[in-house]
Amino acid sequence: MSRLAGILAILAVGNTGALGAQPVLPYHDGLNRYATTAEVIAGNALVGGIAAALQATVHGKDPFRAFGIGAVGGLVHLAGKNFAVEGGAARAWGGLLVGHAGTSIVLNAGRGVHPFQELVLPLGPMRLRVLPRDSNKVRASVNLFEAGWLLRTATRDGIRFDWERTFSTGALAFVTEHRMLFRDDEELAGVALAPYYLLSEFARDVDETARHEVVHLFQQQFIQETLGWPLEQLVRSRIWRGHMIPRWIEVGVGGAAIATFDHWISNGDGLRAIQEAEAQLLHRR
């Protein structure tokens, strides 16, 4: 298990291929196209159900029941994404709450507990975990992986924090004065890496790009909380002295490692392409 933890960390550090990104000029070739409404609805239900069923199998719970409840959670999560991209701070923050309520339903379904046993709310690299039925009703923690990326971006030259967009979208926003080049010298209008998104001053439509990247943040946080965080807890329980890591510390590399592994085996045509197709549809609502 210690080897597994090391592999996850290495994969996460090399996660540049799994970023949520939007080119300056939209592209629609291959899988990089708009998804249909039916595909997005079915996809979110399916991903929610599978994530819950996988976790239920590990915990020895009923995977079929978990799949059904997880599918509902996936649809609630989708509703949150729809609210968040409609524009305005009220809708953005409301979408944040609804979306992560859906994430929590999936997480709880996988554990075989009440759908609202634990409610998780990411606030930047911080996590608030609300347990209404527990004596200790609120637990706070920090995601070290996300905190490290946030610090790295915030301290780079030519990048400024955008207070207005942070408030209006409900997600940490930065703007860079530099051109962002990706593979094959493709110029990007924005990238997302939970817990923030970075916009280019050269973007054709900065508002549209911001909505696009917010969708990617929802996607990344969903993967981290429903698959990455349970995987981290499993590793902690198996490695030597893993129980000595304080509960308020989350290493946080699970979701990034999953995304990197998917990119490696699919050459970018798997989960990342599906997420891009969804973001292309939702950000234009």
DSSP 8-state secondary structure symbol assigned to residue 246: -
Convert the pLDDT of each residue in 202-229 to its tens digit.
988 999 999 999 999 999 999 999 999 9
Mean pLDDT calculated for residue range 219-248: 89
The whole-angstrom separation of Cα 199 and Cα 38 is 29
Would you tell me the crossing angle of helices 206-223 and 271-282 to the nearest 10 degrees?
140
Convert the pLDDT of each residue in 121-145 to its tens digit.
999 999 999 998 888 889 999 999 9
How would residue 186 be classed by pLDDT, with cut points 50, 70 and 90? confident
Question: Which pLDDT does position 153 carry in this prediction?
Answer: 94
Question: Which pLDDT does position 31 carry in this prediction?
Answer: 46
Half-sphere exposure (CA, 13 Å, Cβ side) for 98? 18
CB 277 within 8 A of CB 268: no
Output 121 or 256, whichever has higher pLDDT: 121
The DSSP annotation for 20-68 comes to EEEESS---STT-SPPPHHHHHHHHHHHHHHHHHHHHHHHT--HHHHHH
How would residue 33 be classed by pLDDT, with cut points 50, 70 and 90? low
Domain ranges of the chain: 2-282
Whether residue 18 is predicted with pLDDT greater than 50 in this model: the reply is no
pTM over 0.85: yes
- Nearest CA to 26 out of 285, 220, 279 is that of 279
Coil vs helix vs strand at 189: strand
Question: Which pLDDT does position 184 carry in this prediction?
Answer: 63
The whole-angstrom separation of Cα 131 and Cα 121 is 12
Question: Which pLDDT does position 187 carry in this prediction?
Answer: 85
Pick the range with the lowest mean pLDDT from 113-122, 216-225, 250-259: 250-259
Output 200 or 134, whichever has higher pLDDT: 200
How would residue 16 be classed by pLDDT, with cut points 50, 70 and 90? very low
Most confident listed range (67-71, 178-182, 205-209): 67-71
- Nearest CA to 149 out of 228, 256, 245 is that of 256
Question: Which pLDDT does position 24 carry in this prediction?
Answer: 46
Convert the pLDDT of each residue in 45-67 to its tens digit.
999 999 999 999 999 999 999 99
State what percent of residues in the chain have pLDDT above 90. 62
Mean pLDDT of the chain: 86
